[in-house]
Amino acid sequence: MMTTRAKYSLGQVVRHRKHPFRGVIFDVDPQFNNTDEWYAAIPEESRPSKEQPFYHLLAENEQSYYVAYVSEQNLVADYSGEPVDHPDIPDLFGPFEDGAYPLHFQLN
């Protein structure tokens, strides 16, 4: 049985390593769990390994808000101390504090 430990946590603010967006992590898959079509759409030279955690983000860039699915290797922690303005954040998290968002609910 393979075990994977996620580097980032729920509510943490992160940035994409290569693209200009940041977001709040709201879910983590221990390894790739999206469609083959989604994976094939990534240029082969940029395609990440499927055997690593993938993160669901409430993401933002200068133009819009959206949900992103990003491999661990393509994320870095965001230490700017700036909140993320995604409109869905209040549905899942409490107010921004100490650089992160606390969950509204308890996990099992």
* Residue-by-residue pLDDT tens, the chain, 108 positions: 556 689 999 999 999 999 999 999 999 999 999 999 999 999 999 899 999 999 999 999 999 999 999 999 999 999 999 999 999 999 999 999 999 999 986 655
Q: What is the pLDDT of residue 107?
A: 59
Looking at residue 104, its pLDDT comes to: 80
Half-sphere exposure of 61 (CA within 13 A, CB side): 9
